[in-house]
Structure formats: C-alpha cells, structure tokens
Chain A
Amino acid sequence: MAKRERWGTRIGLILAMAGNAVGLGNFLRFPVQAAQNGGGAFMIPYFVAFLLLGIPLMWVEWAIGRYGGKFGHGSAPGMFDAMWKAPISKYLGALGLFISTVIMVYYTYIESWTLAFSFFSITKAYFGETTFDAMRSFLQSYQGIEKNYFQSILPAYFFMCVTLFINFFILYRGISRGIEMLAKIAMPTLFLFAIILVIRVVTLGTPDPVNHPDWNVESGFAFIWNPDFSKLGDAKIWLAAAGQIFFTLSVGMGTLQAYASYLRESDDIALSGLSTASTNEFVEVILGASIAIPVAAAFFGIETTQEIAKGGAFNLGFVSMPIIFQKLPFGEFFGFLWFLLLFFAGITSSVAMAQPLIAFLKEEFGISHGRATALIGFSVFVAIQFVVFFLKHGFLDEMDYWAGTFGLVLFALFEIIIFAWIFGMDKGWAEITKGADIKIPRIFYYIIKYITPLYLLFIMINWLVQDAIPTFLMKDVEPEDVPYRWGARALMFLIFTIIILMVKTAWAKRANKMGVVK
C-alpha cells in the first residue's frame, strides 16, 4: 500500500475538522432559523437533534473515515466497499464524491463574494449605498444580474479566480502543510474577528436613543432567544432544527470521512469528533447568534429585522450588514473583519470538499498529488462558469437543492444503514470506541443503530413530500429560468456519470491487478 499523508498534530486535525464544519451558515443561517422557529424554544429541538443526529453522525463519519484509511481509502467509494463487500456499495459511496464536488462548485463562488466584499469594505466601495434597494442593486450588479455600480461581471470573475487559486494552492500543499496549516491560521483568526465583532455589537446599546429608543441590541437578542413554547408542537420546528444541525456539522458530504482517513488505526476519534462538534456549536450558538441579528435590530428596529430574517441569509449578510457598517464609526474596518471572517469560515469548508476527489484520483488511479489537484482545479473552474454566468436563472439554487440539501440527507441515510446494519453495530461500536480518550455512553450504541437512521428517514420523507416533488416539478420557477434549471440538472447528471464511470474503471483496474497477482 502506498504511503499516505498524515495529520501533523491533533489540535491541527480538530481545527481542520471544525473549520470544515464552521461555514457561512453558522453566522447567517443559524440566527435566522432560531429567530423564525420559536426563539429560545428552538434550542430544545436543536439540542435534541444535536444529541440524536449530530454527534452520532459525527462519530460514525470519523469511524468510517479511519476504517477506510486503514485500507488506503480516502474517499467514500473505497470506504463503503471496505465495509460492505457488495458491488453496489462503491456506487453508493460515489454519491459522497458527487455531493462534495458539486457543492464545491457553487460554494467557492459564494465564498469569493465574501473576499470581494471584504475588499469593498476596506476601500469603502459600497459606502453611499445606504438603502436596502441601493445595496441590493450593488450586490446584483456585482453578480452580473443588473448593471449599476458594476458595469460587467469582471470583478466577480476576478475574485472567483483568486478564490479558486487560493483553494487549490492550499490543496496542492497537501494535508499537513496545506489544509492543517490553513486551519491553524484561519480558525484562531476567525475566533478573534468574531469576538471583536461580538464586543462591538454588544457595546452598541441603543445607537439612536432620540429617534428610536426601542431600537437596540437587547431587542435583537430578545428576537433570537425569547422562547415561544407554542411552536414546539409544530413538526416543522423539529424538522428545521434537525436540518440546521445536519447542515452546520457538514455531515453527509463525505468530507469528514476523507479527513479522518488520514488518522492511524489506534488514534482517538471519540474525543476528537466531539471536540469538532462542540467547536462548531460554540461558533454557531454563542458567536454566530450575537452578531448579525442583534446589530440589525439596533439599526433597523425589530420589525425590519423580522423582514430581513425572512429575506434569508444572503440578504442579511450581503445587503443589511454593509448598510450597518456605513452607520458605524470605523465601519470599513468592521465590514472588512465581517467579510474576511466569512471568507475564513468558507475556505476552511471548501478545501475539504475537494479533498475526497483528490484522494480518489491519487489512490485509485495512481495520479500524482499535483496532477490530481490541477485536474480537479481545472474541472471546477470549467463547471463554475455556468454558476457565474447563469446565477440569475437559479443555476446555483438548483445545485444547492439537489446536492447541498437533498443529497446530503440521502447520503447520510445510506452511510448510517451501511455502518450500523450491514457492517454491523457491534463492529461499528468497536471502531468508534477504539483508542477513545473518553468513554462514550453505551446509549449511543442504540441511538446510532435505531434512532439516528429513523430521524434521517423522518427528515427524508418530509422533504420528499414537502420540497423535493415541488422542486423537481419546478412549481415556483419562472418560465424563462426552466431551461437553465434543466441545464443545472444536466451538469449534475454529467458530473455524477463521470464519477460513476471513474469508480467502475477503478474497480475494474483493481480486479485486473488482483487477477495478475493471483
């Protein structure tokens, strides 16, 4: 077996894993979800989902990764094949490669907006766009949706290229010198920036006590945390909490497994996995909830903040926040910190998305690390063109739904069934607890075997009925966008077919090799 790379330090691994999990959603999606789904009461289903879904899946994915790594596999097809000797297992694993690759294509583009906006903040490019309409127009002209401040898509294209280059340069440097080093720099910086921003927000008080005495930070915290117990009886809240936990931890993507594959057989995964999950929760529940919504409440009042929250995460991050920075003393500096913080949160996730495919090409086809990185970098560059130029037609939304929402749950469901029921929970439990630095309560044996799969099935069925069918039928899509949406599906189908063919070829090659050896 070829010599595999390894992590340099345990703290580096945990920071890289946490960096993978911490993303834009921690700062933009969580506070909106909490505020809209019962405030403080949302934390009840949220923590239940964390215990029954998040932590179990985290341990399962670490265990699958370390187990696969023992056989020299850094991607899901090989890992699933190692756990389940059936011809279909490697193709189910191919779904993990597909999901992380597709998400990387559009996620890198969004990430590039954060880099661009940190530059626009420090250069005060958007200063003067003081209304929601003006700022929305600034964003849309940057995205090439309309012509206003920006007359072409060239700036967006430039920042996209820079972001892609940084991503693949880090990946080119490998696990220890690239991804781990990035995490060791980006994660503490992210913490520092977030703490500075939280202190700034908390000390804002009531910015305009004469005209708007009730517009204050306190009302923003109240908006997020005041519990509405009547909502606990609504299944939608439980589904929203499960969805938030699922997305925030970056499970169901094949990336945690890829990182864990670079561990040795006896290395702890129980404590490291729990540390990863808790770091993510710290960033989300404490830091993420204390910036965007409270500051919006202080400057726009609670009614407008409610409208902003309904407008979604991008509206909050790229439209509302820049307006607020213009009202703050040294706003260009705080805007720069905010968007750079989002960039660090994004890049530590996006590098993880390419890693499974790089590992697959290296391990199954014997391609050198540099060539594999360059090949994937070029492929992502080609695919991202569609996202950049067809953004206004919903190309990104279509990919996000099928790969970034539906695909994740489907893949997680497959992996937990293979792990707990086919590989077997006894062997699975032995894997999770091997080399453990903490004692995992035995109850998690039963949670992983019964409750987590049922929880996932519940989410899956609900989404299938509520979202997947209407989304598939393009119920709310503008007629002129329909061909582009089909284009996005065709591109995803093409990526999936290429991955399936690669998996098929790799296994045929392996079978031939074994035949020759025999």
Chain B
Amino acid sequence: MKFTTEGIIFMILAWGIVSTLTIYCFGKVLKTKVRYDNQNNED
C-alpha cells in the first residue's frame, strides 16, 4: 500500500492540529504558574 498525497496531508493536518493545541495549552499553563498547595492557607 502506497502512502498517498491525501494520506500525508491528512496525517500532517491531524498532527498539526493536535500539536498546536497541545503547545498552545501548555504554553499558557506554564505562563500562568499556579500552585494549588494550600496546606498552609486552608480556610
């Protein structure tokens, strides 16, 4: 079975969408450093 041009396009598109979303999310997460640990400031 040959890897067709459409197949390559679909693979690159799918990988591109997923990678972009992941990089965007983690970029944002790392920018907004939040520490949830509230062992010391529990109500």
Contact = CB atoms under 8 A, between A and B. Distances in A.
Nearest to B30: A11
Interface of A: 3, 6-11, 13-14, 39-41, 43, 47, 176, 214, 218-219, 221-227, 263-264, 267-268, 271-272, 274-275, 278-279, 281-282, 285-286, 297, 302, 437-438
A264 B8 CA distance: 44
B41 to A, nearest CB: 10
Contacts of A297: 1
A177 B29 CA distance: 22
A268 B35 CA distance: 12
Contacts of A302: 1
A272 B10 CA distance: 28
A275 B25 contact: yes
Contacts of A219: 1-3
Contacts of B37: 6-9, 176
Contacts of B24: 278
Interface of B: 1-4, 6-11, 13-15, 17-19, 21-22, 24-26, 28-30, 32-39, 42
B25 A285 contact: no
Contacts of B7: 39-40, 221-222, 225-227
Contacts of A437: 28-29, 32
A226 B1 contact: yes
Nearest to A437: B32
B32 to A, nearest CB: 5
Nearest to A7: B36
B14 A43 contact: yes
B18 A282 contact: yes
A352 to B, nearest CB: 17
A219 B3 CA distance: 6
A11 B11 CA distance: 29
B38 A6 contact: yes
A231 to B, nearest CB: 13
B35 A10 contact: yes
B11 A221 contact: yes
A14 B3 CA distance: 36
21 contacts: A6-B39, A6-B42, A7-B36, A10-B33, A10-B36, A40-B6, A40-B7, A40-B10, A41-B10, A47-B17, A222-B4, A225-B8, A226-B1, A263-B36, A274-B25, A275-B28, A278-B22, A281-B18, A281-B22, A302-B1, A437-B28
B14 A226 contact: no
A90 to B, nearest CB: 26
Contact of B14 (A10, A223, A264, A285): A285
Given A43-B13, A221-B11, 14 more contacts: A6-B37, A8-B37, A9-B35, A9-B37, A11-B29, A218-B3, A225-B14, A264-B38, A275-B29, A278-B22, A278-B25, A279-B25, A282-B18, A285-B18
